[in-house]
Amino acid sequence: MKNIRLPFDRDGWKFAGVAAVIAILLGHIGNNMGWLGFLATIGCLLFFRDPERVHPSSKTVAISPADGIILRVSECEPPAELELNGTWKKVSIFMSILNVHVNRAPVSGIVDKILYIPGKFFNVSLDKASEYNERQATYMTMPDGTKVVFVQIAGLIARRIRCDITEGQQLEMGDRVGIIRFGSRVDVYLPDYVKICVEDGQVAVAGETILASFKA
């Protein structure tokens, strides 16, 4: 019999379980209090929802690793600690508390390195969040040797980046890589020759929206 996968991240069950216990306790105080606890339980499950996604079949594109709004598309020299020389194209995606927070691999390839960088918790809509906030960078090499880096950035409310992958692991485009709790941002660094396929303010869907094409 085929295993049935429920559309919630594993952390959701823990938070929802705690909320359910509180709901039961509040229910003994009063019906209205119990209903508040019940709504909190449903809210936890909704926050940790993890729906299936259908990624593009093309291997010459990069997809969005996160649900959210395209905050900014730019060309820049990445922060020094990333050790990425030259100019790269960067796509920044803002995840609100209402978005799905499970992140996915933007391309297929090998995970070369995972770099955790401690830092502060500025508002992720600010440019300085890329350089000063707590974050985790994942370096990937595609089968043709192309390098792609995506950085999960913690924010004012998001204080927990959970990593579900390891260095040396082979990932397929759209594979789940982890989660950022309670709203944050993901920056994707791409070679400067790529054709960007999104624009500022556009809604992105993790695992489905094409960010860029590697065809020159």
C-alpha dist (Å) from residue 115 to 49, 86, 140, 199: 27, 19, 12, 28
Do 95 and 101 form a contact (C-beta atoms < 8 A)?
Answer: yes
Quick check: is 184 catalytic?
A: yes
**Which one is catalytic: 64, 92, 130, 184?**
184
> Cα–Cα distances in Å, from 184 out to 28, 85, 136?
36, 26, 12
How far apart CA 212 and CA 91 sit, in angstroms, is 9
List the end-to-end C-alpha distance of the chain, in Å, as a whole number.
46
CB 162 within 8 A of CB 176: no
Place of tokens 């409310």: 157
- Residues annotated as catalytic (active site), given as ranges: 184
